[in-house]
Amino acid sequence: MKPKVYAAMTISKEVENFLSEHCELRMWREGGRVPDEVLFEEISNVEGLYTSGSASSQIDEALLERAPHLKVVSNVSVGYNNFDIEALRKRNVIGTHTPHVLNETVADLAFGLILSTARRIVELDRFVKDGKWLSTTEYSDTFGQDVHKRTLGIIGMGRIGEAIAKRARFGFDMDILYHNRSRKPEAEAHYDAQYCELDVLLSKADFVLLMTPLTPQTYQLMGKEQFKLMKKSAIFINVSRGQTIDEQALIEALETGEIYGAGLDVFEQEPIDPSNPLLQMSTVVTVPHIGSATAKTEAAMAMRAAENLVAVLTGKDPLDPVYK
């Protein structure tokens, strides 16, 4: 008998066929987030749950109580802050995620935010389209900042951080500073990256890039005191999670000129409130949490998550467990 699986999100035909080959599959077909009452009913007799951080409820004790047969939860995401790790461990439920697959794609976006913010690409695109580029326009009004040969500070030198460092060092001849829980000798050797304490990085970097996972230790890692340490000409880039910064402190730092600008893929509240002051700032580039949002990468992540789930349910080790 095939193990029962519930996909709490819409999936491609390719993923559906793969899961159906190995499992008895039911799935949410309505789009958007599956309602809790539907999810709790569907998982009452399944062994596998296929989901993502935005697709369903937190994977916590309350949910796990309703899924007594559950063996594995497979997340279509590199992040897993929707997992209560202790609750999963307690019930011997394996959690998996999809790292590696999206490294290069997220690194592309991070560098796109650096370039867009420094060279004011979004702001000046709007300037041209609004018919404000006139023969009398002062050329200096379009000036931005150089990116090449500047200093990039990376907070969180994981796989994606290293992919960004590679672009910065070899594509733009930038100096690399980094802060991480542990030293990364390979990154230091390959990209001439220099490890430093957070306060030092913040005071020296022209671009500060936050690339940490969301954990109790990184919650609001960047706050009022951290933004004060940055150069007035510095640009802050966040492609981690919205809760890794104190968003109000960032707003104040931008409003008072403590820092020059920001490029943001993630926000404290998502979707962002239309009244959020960040949306009115010309020096801030905002995109809707699109780190991995290319068709090729999203398809690869979805299949990797399916492979993780099937591996566990067929008695094999998962490719990408979130804990061992």
Which residues participate in catalysis according to the annotation? 241, 270, 289
The helix/strand/coil state of 309 is helix
Residue 32 CA to residue 125 CA, distance in Å, equals 32
Cα 48 from chain centre: 25
Residue 164 CA to residue 184 CA, distance in Å, equals 14
Classify strands 235-238 and 261-264 as parallel, antiparallel or unpaired.
parallel
Write down how long the chain is: 324
Per DSSP, the residues of 209-237 read EE-----TTTTT-B-HHHHHHS-TT-EEE
Per DSSP, the residues of 23-58 read SEEEE--S-SPPPHHHHHHHGGG-SEEEE-TTTSS-
Which token pair is 324? 């061992």
Which token pair is 76? 């279509």
| Cβ-proximal residues to 64 (8 Å cutoff; 6+ apart), any chain | 70, 87, 88, 91, 93
Nearest by Cα to 55 from 31, 86, 71, 81: 31
Residue 6 CA to residue 57 CA, distance in Å, equals 14
Largest CA distance in the chain: 76
Question: Which residue is it, tokens 């009022």?
Answer: 224
Provide the CB-side half-sphere exposure for 170 (13 A, CA): 9
